[in-house]
Amino acid sequence: MASNSAAVTEGSATRADPANAPPTRPWAAPADEVLAALATDPERGLTTAEAQRRLARTGPNELATHKPIPGWRRFLQQFRDPLVLLLLAATGVSTATWLLDPDTPLPYEAIAILAIVLLNAIMGYAQQARAEHAIAALRQMTAPQATVIRDGQPVVVLAREIVPGDLLVVEEGATVPADARLLRCAALQVAEAVLTGESLPVTKEAAPLPADVPLADQHNMIFGGTSVTSGRGLAVVVATGMGTRMGQIAGMLEQAPDTATPLQRELARVGRLLGVAVVLIAVVTVAAILLVQDVTTPAGILDVLVFGVALAVAAVPEGLPAVVTVVLALGVQRMAERNAIVRHLSAVETLGSASVIASDKTGTLTRNEMTVRTVVTASGRLELGGTGYAPHGTATVRPAGTAAELPLETADPALRNELQRALTVGDLANNAVLQEEDGRWSVQGDPTEGALLVAARKAGLDDEQLGRFRRIGELPFSSDRKLMTTVHTDAASADRILVFTKGAPDVLLTRCASELNGMEPVPLTDQRRREILAENEALAGQALRTLGVAYRELPPEAVGPHGPDQTVEHDLVFAGLIGMLDPPRAEARDAVARARAAGIRTLMITGDHPVTASVIAAELGISDDRRAVAGTALTQQSDAELVESVRGISVYARVSPRDKLRIVRALQHHGDIIAMTGDGVNDAPALKAADIGVAMGITGTDVSREASDLVLADDNYASIVAAVEEGRAIFANIRKFLRYLLSSNIGEVVTMFFGVLLADLIGLTEAAAGALPLPLLATQILWINLVTDGAPALALGLDPPARDVMRRPPRPRGEGVITGTMWRGILFVGAVMATGTLLTLDASLPGGLIEGSGSLDYGRTMAFTTLVFFSLFTVFNARSDTRSAFVGLFANPWLLGAVALSLLLQVAVVYVPALQQAFATVALSFTDWLWCAAVGSSVLVLREVTKLARRSRP
């Protein structure tokens, strides 16, 4: 299959053979040259036979697909994580030990571990299956049918059967099935927001363009996946399937690697660390027991091996995957309540770590609804408030030469007359329809024309006033004239005919002979024309799209039986300028400010015009200098230059999908964690390449949603910031239960290790009297690890966020989930737990450093209970490395309940006969309980002292 590398680069690739390939840049070539290169008859198109031959050579007009990975392989891929493999190994050893020794109790811990791993695998499998729908969703955007000219006749064919060289007929409402070069068109406008990010429909024309014109300005091209909003046209297909712009995006989406989130990377690292530690601890401890205690019998060796397995399981917080999953799932529910729908659980914390939000403009920071802001006439100007298509908002006037703002109804009659005439023209030279359904206002038709309808009603014009004019003719908008004109009769005067015209102000002024000034027209001087054009430039500098409006009266005989002609568009009366824009969301500015306070930088990356982008960015507080870098300048920068400049630029305009990818990767080069927001197909590759992709749920395409990690149900930028806050709270809670689980597990491991090594010193050997001198039994270790740790750790994940969570800087990319400060606290707590537990064991047994008088079962029960108390007090320490445990002590009732439940379970183990037998415990007295609680609380007291010392430092 032949290809053209230059064509691929420029977005005009075709899968035809070289003999029928279009020019590399078809927009720069005359239409007849493109037709000649494709061997297409300009009137008859291709023959049916030739189309079939080309289809056989080029393949169908659809996006390429890969052979799907079998479900069983995708499921097995969920078990590649080191921590999961470690848990499976521990499960296997525990189960094998139980099978080898029928007298060993049923390994409930192995069953629990296996259930957790299977649950995680099923959830991961489901998430991966969702992500693979991205390419399928992109394929579904292709029009299923299209009209082409073959054998001189228009025929409807399946879109997949279109080939390069086909003459394509497009009209209003159609979806463009392939990339094509326009041959001729009439009032053709195409919505390209899904491809370029342009908020307004693009007016098309057939004339050749310069070779270096960017995608968004290729006005003689139409692209597959876009939709025709008005007009009609004839074009020759130059690219199909993967050769189209949409196909190139699909290729980039497919090539973008799936990157692990910081949480995934850190848990994998912790898993590898614990895996090594488990092997070393188990081997060293078993070897120490065999050497120190001189164990030689097969039964003794088996007991030691069973103990080694139990110690290995204790060293691994096997509750960690379950707690992480549950806490993330609960966080997902809270995010959903704040209109942020999470597609990947492990991506939740990444949003909380984001240091940059790279946001699209249209529909994300703005409402994607055109709104008239200003109407300028000879005697002053009208400022309209409100946003969207609801016809409600303030209307104030400012007479010329003054700074005073007055309500419209109190304005001078002359100014009011000018404004009403201007808005009447905008309302009647119009084909849009304003409608309300269930309290929601919407527009059918061009959004610019819809904005004019809304403006007229905000200014007090109603259907009764406007309904007196009946349309009898129309001159549609064309790219050549850049005007639209309608002709009306006036019910108030039977012989009165009015012409209403709107269009580009500079073009319209050349057709005007006078200007409405007050109640009557006055001649339009050259000086006044210059003033109007200067005012137009000033409005454009405020990111307002401007239209001029004008009118004239005609005698009845001026409109013949065939309707008006272009002669009616002369000797017009200029009525005014109308400035409009797609307004920022009302809450977006506050959201940007909150993000900035949280140390998060907001970028605007849009396909819209640089002036529009810079003004909107300044209004939202994204940029102070109104500087915007256009895509043409971006393409001239090397990757190294972009890496250097990206930290100082906050607004990018007229960018391509590849530019977005380059910006994201340049920011990642600096260590930033990127949250990329978007709604169009053009955003999908960058959404996938970013650390977390945030798609729009209402205006977003299926492709962007499937490629993202997070979907905003309300398309609201403020919801992104709310999700950041929730993500930070979730990540803080993950750190809390990691701190708790690792502290407890290390305390258990250190207790067992030094208990064996110091058995003679603490009187354990003497109390054992020939039995294996272990400080705790394997079942007691597993009880602490699986039962006591579970509920409190989960409750820590429900802790409410700290009040300053959005006043802290983002976590650096290189910083682990567990920091050096956390590790020091974890090791300190583990050492305190082991010391207190072993001293309690010593004090409960005869001999040793502290003389006691209890039996071995009594001593182990005391040590067992003390270690449980240590864990329960540690859970309050784990809420912060710096803040006192008593701050917000009662803010989390779930935590208090979990501690109470764990304590009740420990009471049951000590007093219920069946559990006494299973766990080798004996009943304790009230004094014994006080002793265990007092020793266990020492960890809380000591940590409070260290926290106070840390808070006291400058």
Residues identified as active-site: 360
Instruction: Return the H-helix or E-strand segment holding 497.
Output: strand 493-503
Closest CA to 157 of 231, 38, 51: 51
Count of C-beta atoms within a 10 Å radius of residue 19: 9
Q: What angle do CA 338, 340, 345 make, to 5 degrees?
A: 120
User: Cα(345)–Cα(338) distance, rounded to whole angstroms?
Assistant: 16
Instruction: Return the H-helix or E-strand segment holding 580.
Output: strand 572-581
Closest CA to 260 of 124, 57, 359, 68: 124
Q: Which residues contact 380 (CB under 8 A, 6 or more apart)?
A: 397, 398, 399, 400, 411, 415, 418
**Secondary structure class of 430 (helix, strand, coil):** coil
Measured N-to-C along each axis, helices 820-844 and 926-952 cross at an angle, to the nearest 10 degrees, of 150
Closest CA to 442 of 391, 514, 512: 391
C-alpha dihedral sign at 12, 18, 19, 20:
negative
Q: Which residues contact 228 (CB under 8 A, 6 or more apart)?
A: 170, 171, 172, 173, 174, 175, 176, 188, 189, 190, 191, 222
Q: Which residues contact 110 (CB under 8 A, 6 or more apart)?
A: 90, 91, 94, 95, 98
User: Cα(237)–Cα(493) distance, rounded to whole angstroms?
Assistant: 52
Closest CA to 516 of 396, 372, 375: 375
Paired with 560 in beta bridges are: 563
User: Cα(788)–Cα(325) distance, rounded to whole angstroms?
Assistant: 18
The DSSP secondary-structure symbol of 784 reads: I
Q: Which two tokens stand for residue 60?
A: 């169908």
Q: What is the DSSP string of 322-378?
A: HHHHHHHHHHHHHHHHTTEEES-GGGHHHHHT-SEEEE-STTTTB-S--EEEEEEET
Dihedral pair phi/psi, residue 496, rounded to 5°: -100, 125
Dihedral pair phi/psi, residue 379, rounded to 5°: -105, 0
Q: What is the DSSP string of 613-659?
A: HHHHHHHHTS-SS---EEHHHHHTS-HHHHHHHGGG--EEES--HHH
User: Cα(945)–Cα(885) distance, rounded to whole angstroms?
Assistant: 11
C-alpha distances in angstroms, 102 versus 99, 107, 456, 937? 6, 11, 87, 40
Closest CA to 863 of 920, 904, 913: 920
Determine whether 639 is exposed, middle or buried from the number of CB atoms within 10 Å of its CB (0-12, 13-18, 19+).
Answer: exposed
Q: Which two tokens stand for residue 587?
A: 């809450």
C-alpha dihedral sign at 693, 695, 700, 702:
positive
